[in-house]
């Protein structure tokens, strides 16, 4: 396996290693707390909330005008991490945890961040286009597009595209709730929330664009075309820019027959009749590409190892 995919992530994850969903939630909450604290300072200094939006939010939220977006192109990215109200970030993070955890289980942790960013950015572009070409939208005043709603929509539609019959709470009667049912509930709630609030109508193009991107991304991944591989490689190189070269040059694949010992390190142990190295490889594959990527032989090996431990 490539070093990019074998690397153990540390720091922000509060759960198991490589938990990208947890890291995204922590990043969003950290930015929210920082913005909330800054807004409180503006109000304490009697500068006022309008000045806060003028100084801070105008440089983070996505403007409705294409000309302003060209002057502040970074807002297409910063907007998907920006929340200033409690309910939007609460609902977005709950749904991100729900759909993101399932996607991470089915397709691996390497799909989470690219889909989150690509879905959010495409949704923001659709928001700007909608504000220009949909009659009546320009008359709706707002502070611009902000929040992770588009990114969450991309993840929700993406994971449903590859596993609509995946069931959660399997111990319930009937074997659990199919994923497509949860996604339908999420879509209905999202539509109702926008329809009942006039200022939220402008988010429909954003959500639609993110949904299409999520569906395309994951259906192409299922066919073997990973649109996020380049992004993951660039991210890895940037995060390891100052690491020793020896720490990044690891063979792409390593099999049991390739494992050698020079006498200083003991050979790998066995879990029952399954070599520990082989078991670790299978667990790494699940972490990277999801449980659906396992071959029949790997599934049988995993079952054999679990039985031998009992």
Q: Has residue 3 been placed in a domain?
A: no
**66 and 148 share one domain:** yes
> Is the model's pLDDT at 109 over the cut of 60?
yes
* Domain end marker among 228, 250, 271: 228
Mean pLDDT of 159-171: 91
| Per-residue pLDDT reduced to its tens digit, 120-152 | 999 999 999 999 999 888 777 666 899 999 999
Q: Has residue 47 been placed in a domain?
A: yes
| Per-residue pLDDT reduced to its tens digit, 17-56 | 578 999 999 999 999 999 999 999 998 887 788 889 989 9
* Domain end marker among 205, 228, 251: 228
Is the pTM for the entire model greater than 0.85? no
**174 and 309 share one domain:** no
**61 and 109 share one domain:** yes
Distance CA 75, CA 79 (A): 5
**Number of alpha helices (DSSP H) and beta strands (DSSP E) in the chain:** 13, 4
Answer yes or no: are the C-beta atoms of 21 and 104 closer than 8 Å.
yes
| Beta carbons within 10 angstroms of residue 120's beta carbon | 30
The phi, psi pair for 70, rounded to 5°, reads -65, -30
Check residue 286 and give its pLDDT: 67
Distance CA 154, CA 100 (A): 10
Distance CA 109, CA 113 (A): 8
Q: Has residue 91 been placed in a domain?
A: yes
Structurally, how many domains does the chain consist of? Answer: 2
Span of 202-206, 271-275, 289-293 with lowest mean pLDDT? 271-275
Q: Has residue 274 been placed in a domain?
A: yes
* Domain end marker among 208, 228, 248: 228
Chain CA centroid to CA 128, Å: 23
Distance CA 193, CA 188 (A): 9
Range of the domain at 143: 16-228
> Is the model's pLDDT at 254 over the cut of 90?
no
Average pLDDT, whole number, for the chain?
A: 81
**167 and 292 share one domain:** no
- Burial code (b: 16+ CB inside 10 Å, e: under 16) for 77-95 equals ebbbbbbbeeebbebbbeb
**45 and 180 share one domain:** yes
Q: Has residue 46 been placed in a domain?
A: yes
Mean pLDDT of 181-188: 97
Residue 109, burial from CB neighbour count under 10 angstroms (0-12, 13-18, 19+): buried
């Amino acid at each position: 396996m490539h070093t990019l995919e074998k690397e153990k992530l540390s720091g922000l994850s509060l759960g198991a290693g490589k938990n990208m969903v947890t890291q995204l939630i922590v990043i969003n909450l950290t930015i929210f707390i920082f913005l909330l604290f800054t807004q409180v300072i503006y109000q304490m200094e009697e500068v006022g909330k309008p000045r806060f939006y003028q100084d801070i939010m105008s440089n983070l939220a996505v403007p409705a005008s294409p000309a302003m977006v060209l002057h502040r192109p970074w807002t297409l990215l910063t907007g998907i991490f920006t929340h200033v109200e409690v309910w939007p970030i609460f609902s977005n993070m709950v749904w991100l945890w729900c759909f993101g955890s399932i996607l991470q289980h089915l397709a691996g942790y390497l799909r989470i961040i690219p889909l989150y960013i690509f879905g959010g950015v495409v949704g923001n572009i659709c928001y700007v286009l909608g504000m220009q070409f949909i009659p009546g939208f320009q008359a709706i005043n707002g502070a611009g597009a902000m929040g992770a709603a588009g990114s969450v929509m991309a993840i929700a539609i993406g994971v449903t595209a590859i596993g609509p019959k995946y069931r959660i709470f399997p111990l319930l009667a009937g074997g659990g709730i199919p994923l497509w049912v949860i996604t339908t509930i999420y879509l209905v709630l999202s539509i109702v929330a926008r329809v009942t609030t006039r200022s939220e109508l402008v988010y429909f193009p954003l959500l639609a664009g993110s949904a299409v991107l999520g569906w395309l991304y994951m259906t192409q991944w299922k066919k073997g075309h990973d649109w996020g591989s380049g992004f993951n490689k660039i991210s890895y190189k940037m995060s390891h820019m100052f690491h020793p070269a020896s720490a990044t040059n690891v063979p792409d694949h390593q099999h049991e027959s390739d494992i050698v010992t020079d006498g200083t390190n003991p050979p790998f142990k066995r879990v029952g009749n399954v070599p520990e190295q082989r078991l670790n490889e299978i667990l790494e594959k699940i972490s990277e590409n999801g449980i659906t990527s396992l071959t029949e032989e790997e599934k049988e090996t995993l079952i054999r190892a679990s039985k031998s431990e009992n």
